[in-house]
Chains A and B, each alone.
Chain A
Amino acid sequence: MTLLDEIKKDGEILEINFGPQHPSTHGVFRMRVLLEGETVRELKPVMGYLHRNQEQIAENTTYAGIVGFTDRMDYINALSNNFSYCLTAEKLASIEVPERAAYIRIIMAELARLINHSAAVGFLLNDLGSFFTPLLYALRERERILDVFEAVTGSRMMCNYFRFGGVKRDLDEDSLAAIKTIVRKFPRFLDEFETLLTSNEILCMRCQNVGVLPADLAVNAGITGPTLRASGVNYDIRKIDRYGLYDRFDFKVPLGKKGDVYDRYYIRILEMRESVKILEQALQALPAGDFIHPKTAPLLRNPRNFKPPVGEAYGRTESPKGELGFYLVSDGTPQPWRCHVRAPSLINLSALEAMCLGQKIADIMIILGSIDIVLGETDR
């Protein structure tokens, strides 16, 4: 008999439902937990409360129209999804991206990484109980970056900025100056954040050795992103696939040692520092030129002219949550035959049960917070 059967025989199991509406800000995610006292014995996630059938919509929309829907998948950092999708469509139709456009894309993608990681750390600390103070600091920095997004793309969150072959609009002088100010002041915010948090006794005691994810389980379960690197596996798609001119930038890939919640939190702080480095280099080296490939610009005015050749393509990028991949099958018409999203938030949950077994009930929320999921991507 397994341990679970023995406990069930004694009649001490309590089934608790962390229902779709609960005060943790990750969205409508439900977990059915079997508890013995305060220890977790089984955990089954239930998803689908935000299943907005984006794959079905993608089969009925033109390629250019889908860019707007990709924003709404990982809605905290909308621009990274645009990047991944445009990369895949460019692979499908063999479109090149001019140099200035590639640099602008990297600048926007790294700014999106900054807002995602600061929001992720803020929400994790919300779950830990420090209700709203670190989140307020993180949202303050996020607002500065969202102002830049609004000036450049027209919208704070759902930017819909990337196009096949480049971006929609050029970066003007004011926005460039604003980005330079942000990049100059961001390390000071990180220092302030770290002074409050990194050697904080409560954080250390609650987060160290909690929710340990061993490296071989992480690789087998398909986990990517900061969660994987916190377990010590060196796999960063920016360094491996070298897409979009990332090989011109000099940045390190931080790795963790133990793979517990504290490592996952600290890796995000270190990754923010590396992103600031990339941004400094990109801003310095930003060349002049076209912001979109001249052949695609008139095409996209009438999206129904974009008919890629019959074929399939799988493109992936290192989104702040992990590996975001798009799988497109084209049949020569302006609408794709199949568009599948390989969502990191869904696959990072494969190991949730393994991480939570044997932990206390209060630790489930922080383990979930440290994986950093967003339900728009999990359920698509």
Chain B
Amino acid sequence: MPSMINSLKDALEKKFPGIKLRILRDSLLLEDPQDLTRVAQHVKESPAFRLDYLSSVTASDFLDYLETIYHFYSMEKKSGPWVLRVRVPRENARVPSLTPLYQSAELQEREAYDLFGILYEGHPDLRRLFLWEGFEGHPLLKNYEQENADTLEARDVEWLEAHGVKVPETMKKNAAELKASGKRALVEKPTEPRQA
């Protein structure tokens, strides 16, 4: 409903003059990610909105930038959804964390960090949630390279021989070739757009 999000934009512009906002379909884009904390505090406490329930924190990869999208609802006034978005560049993706204000953001921000690599500043315990500690890379980014699980690489062959497992010669040769050419065994991804 466009009128809902317009009223939110007006109220925020009145309270924080000079804030840069833009309406995108039914959501509000905050141009400067650092505004997020004070905006969230205002919507949580202002009697006009009372958005006390942060339903969903999710991230998305739009090739040029990464976005974090927040869905707020109000349990007191039974209204919603109010959608806020924040955009950050891929290289230095830092967004202030909403965990001090809303505890529901704690696990969801960890998930967004795990899958997209966005760093949430102020999060009490930002670690990976689903994948393990030594994992490199952030899987849901569009340029993530997934390993090919059917080809042994040099590291696997070394580990197996150290544990006393016999590796067939062809696999050892393939692994050595891969290591020599400096490539990794990757899953094939499509290279061209699909013809209509």
Contacts and interface: CB of A to CB of B under 8 A. Distances in A.
A and B touch in the complex (CB under 8 A): yes
Most buried by A among B55, B61, B83, B130: B130
B75 interface: yes
Interface in B61-77: 61, 69, 71, 75
B153 interface: no
B107 A342 contact: no
A350 B56 contact: no
B186 interface: no
A323 B60 contact: no
Contacts of A379: 130
A314 B82 CA distance: 11
Interface string A345-365: 011011100000000000000
Interface string A203-246: 00000000000000101111100000000010100001000000
Given A340-B58, A347-B108, A349-B107, A55 B102 contact: no
Given A220-B102, A349-B107, A48 B52 contact: no
Nearest to B76: A219
A56 B103 contact: no
Contacts of A327: 56, 58, 69, 71
A208 B13 CA distance: 49
Interface residues of B, number: 33
B55 A316 contact: yes
Contacts of A350: 103-104, 106-107
A341 to B, nearest CB: 9
A253 to B, nearest CB: 12
Nearest to B53: A219
Contacts of B60: 329, 337-338, 340
Nearest to A304: B194
A151 to B, nearest CB: 36
A110 interface: no
A48 B131 contact: yes
Contacts of B140: 55-56
Given A48-B129, A327-B56, A338-B60, A314 B104 contact: no
Interface residues of A, number: 34
Contact of B71 (A47, A314, A329): A314
Given A51-B131, A312-B25, A351 B71 contact: no
A53 B25 contact: no
Given A51-B130, A311-B25, A340 B56 contact: yes
A220 B104 contact: yes
Interface in A164-199: none
A325 interface: yes
A222 B103 contact: yes
B132 interface: yes
Given A222-B104, A350-B106, A48 B132 contact: yes
B81 interface: yes
Contacts of B166: none
Contacts of B84: none
A216 B129 CA distance: 26
Interface string B83-117: 10000000000000000001111111001000100
Contacts of A346: 107-108, 111
Most buried by B among A222, A333, A350: A222
Contact of B53 (A48, A222, A340): A222
A314 B107 contact: no
B132 A53 contact: no
Nearest to B103: A221
B33 interface: no
A229 B137 CA distance: 40
Given A235-B75, A327-B69, A56 B55 contact: no
Given A48-B132, A53-B139, A311-B25, A351 B103 contact: yes
Q: Which 9 A/B pairs are nearest by Cβ-Cβ distance?
A: A222-B104, A48-B130, A51-B130, A342-B56, A221-B103, A340-B58, A338-B60, A220-B103, A221-B104
Given A48-B130, A217-B103, A312-B25, 18 more contacts: A48-B128, A48-B129, A51-B131, A56-B140, A220-B52, A220-B102, A220-B103, A221-B102, A222-B54, A222-B104, A235-B75, A235-B78, A240-B78, A314-B71, A314-B81, A316-B55, A329-B60, A346-B107
Interface of B: 25, 27, 52-56, 58, 60-61, 69, 71, 75, 78, 81, 83, 102-108, 111, 115, 128-132, 139-140, 194
28 contacts: A48-B129, A51-B130, A56-B139, A56-B140, A219-B52, A220-B102, A220-B104, A221-B103, A222-B104, A222-B105, A233-B75, A235-B75, A240-B78, A312-B27, A314-B71, A314-B81, A325-B56, A327-B58, A327-B69, A338-B60, A338-B61, A342-B56, A342-B58, A347-B107, A349-B107, A350-B103, A350-B104, A350-B107
